[in-house]
Structure 1
Amino acid sequence: MRKQLTLICTLACSLTANAQKLSATEQKIIASVKQNMPQSEKLLVQLVNTNSGTLNQKGVQEVGAILRKEFDAIGFKTEWVAMPPAMQRAGHLVAQRKGKKGKKLFLIGHLDTVFELDMPFTTYTQLNDSTATGQGVNDMKGGDVVMLAALQALQQNGLLDNTTITAYFTGDEERKGEGEASRADFIAKAKESDVALAFESAAGLHSVATARRGSSSWQLKTYGQAGHSSTIFKPNVGYGAIFESARILNEFREKLSQEQYLTFNPGLIVGGSEVKYEVAKAHGEVAGKTNIISPEVAVAGDLRFLTEKQKEEARTKMREIVARNLPNTRAEITFTDNLPGMPPTPGNQKLAALADHVSRDLGFGPVTAGDPGSRGAGDVSLVAQYLDCLDGLGASGKGAHAPGETLNTKEFPLLVQRAALMIYRLTR
């Protein structure tokens, strides 16, 4: 009994000490977050259950409409930024309020997921007392709700008055539309701000991202001489397009796979006697027979890197590998820039220090900057050259971009609390 009383006293003293580190106003913010949590969880379910794969323009717009209503309700001025029809993207949601108090904040989310309409759809499901699953539940519909719930708690306490905050939700973060128009407005509004906070998936309650890798895409095509399978490897026929593509991909793996922060992934491959691949739709169709040597293969992949130098060096090596063709084959590779890298900076480190300070004041423990090699690319990288940035402030979980993606439901309200206090302290 004495040990139990000691434990209870220790816990009570700890909670009291943490509360003393928070001002009376901050304690009210935390109380509002807790009070609102049932509504926040209900909103998350609604968002997850709305399919919004990047190419599903109607679904992306529906998710945007749901969030737009919520931002209108807390006094933000909202607008929908449409994209050119040829881009085949839904557009972006922007919510703004302007004032003169504290730093000007640029908060980043996105409306789309990687799960397109032709993929199996999974709705929000509570698996146990600490885990939920559903498409985009942590990447990044959970993060969108973390941002919104933090702002709602501040608004309920009159703490958004006279602040300057832009919440920007892109509609094609997972598969950015081609052309400068895709992010022109995004970058312009970021330049008007002092600090960017991005709500991509958190690595956990104790980690944030001061650096992120960039991403680009590549298209590999190989060609061979069609013929009967019994003649393959003969000097006048050669090896065919499929063997040539296999050679290239394997050499990529052998020569480049051990470099720190560099990854490359062939995400789609089609080959046969008849090949049709539509880049814009990320869709391929193929026909062939085992006794026909394939004359064509198309491969689509991505390349991730920390710096522009690393990107260019990798591309040079890949081009050299592609040029060393098997007999009677040829190959070509093209690259497309998507997102630049976000290197760590002193300003970013200061924001990580703020997250650490807030977390400790809340009694959650320390926060450190995570390994950039463990993260993919994000929209925050596009504005990292203009202002201090911090990412990984969203929901935590596992398996993003894969069936069975999960959300840590116990950490979810704590991450909202941390975000709310960070925004509050930055805007004082």
Structure 2
Amino acid sequence: MNQKQSATSSLDFSGYEKTHALRSIFQVAVNLELPLAVWRSPHQKEINLMLSFNKVKEVERPDLETSDKGFIFSPFDPKSGATLFIKSDFHVSFDFDEIIQHEDLTSREGALQAEFLKNVKQQLSTPQEKVNYHVKDQARTEADLDYKDLVQLGVKAIKNNEFQKVVPARSKTISLNADFDLITKYLQLCDAYANAFVSIVSMPETGTWLGATPELLLEVNHSQFKTVALAGTQKRDIDKPISDTAWTQKEIEEQALVSRYIINCFKKIRLREYNEKGPKTIIAGNLLHLKTEFEVNMKETNFPELGTVMLELLHPTSAIAGMPKEASLNFIHQHEGFDRSFYSGYLGPVQIEQKTSIFVNLRCMQLLENDAILYAGAGVTEDSVAQKEFEETEMKFNTLLNILNSAS
């Protein structure tokens, strides 16, 4: 514990199992209508929970370099809704059996903070129950066009030279089991998808989103900048070595378009010094993808604001919209027929120990009272076959469905 923390501003977790502590903090935050985020980074064991004692902040243009510590959550279409920011007023991490409280709360004493701390102490002494979460019901619109027809429309537009690639999406509403418990399912996702950024974002303004995304949008770690091109999808065969994976010309070209998009963003800002690694085949749960990494030393290139500049240029990327961006976005807005909301937006922790990690919100779902809305898309090029793209979205749904349908 931080020695500066007083007995009234810190919590003593000794003797409590970490899952119980996670549930207790989560439940009290929801009861007090506080916004919070839970995340586990790829290849890590540590689970983080962060919340604010204030309402989420609407951010018109995120400035990653000058930002407070917190968690960012942005919709697919920046024009359709605000980018939201949870300022870090309380942050705990759960690593193996150790529970660490990071924030010194003595400078932020207030009635709500005091109530939160008191309630968490009470909740820690209460037997475990499944947690509640923020729910925001929304008008659900069903797409007018069958997904396979939408893909064929995209192929036709590509052949008419309207754009090179488009990424139409679809949604699926499922009923949650009566015994659905968010924290149990979250921990199962963490166990199942070691390579993913696994998150819960729960706030009164947006309801609750659960996801396990394989795709980094950008990372700023001290003076190092990183982004990736991730595209091309096939089902993983666990009996087959990853080195034996074969990719079709369609998938290779789809991934090359995403890489070209990133390089074009670099060209727009006249950045020539970057390292490119890949493409290589990577595992993402039950799927395989092609991935290329791009890295920049911001100190050597004298570009300290590169994270903020590239966030604005990259989102929405060609991996979730298409290429060229404007033409493919127009097609999506005109024909997709439903609101993506925060699906294929971005999310992640900002300025935590001088590191910012922002991910594309894929393999995700919005939780309602008794239902969940799942989202998935597929990259369509000139060589796309509608049935295969439909099957790809079904495989992507299964990332979450496999966990939802498993025994608790």
TM-score, normalization by structure 1:
0.25
Q: Higher strand proportion, which one? A: 2
Compare the two structures and name the one with the higher helix fraction: 1
Normalising by structure 2, what TM-score? 0.26
Q: Which structure has the larger Rg over C-alpha atoms?
A: 1
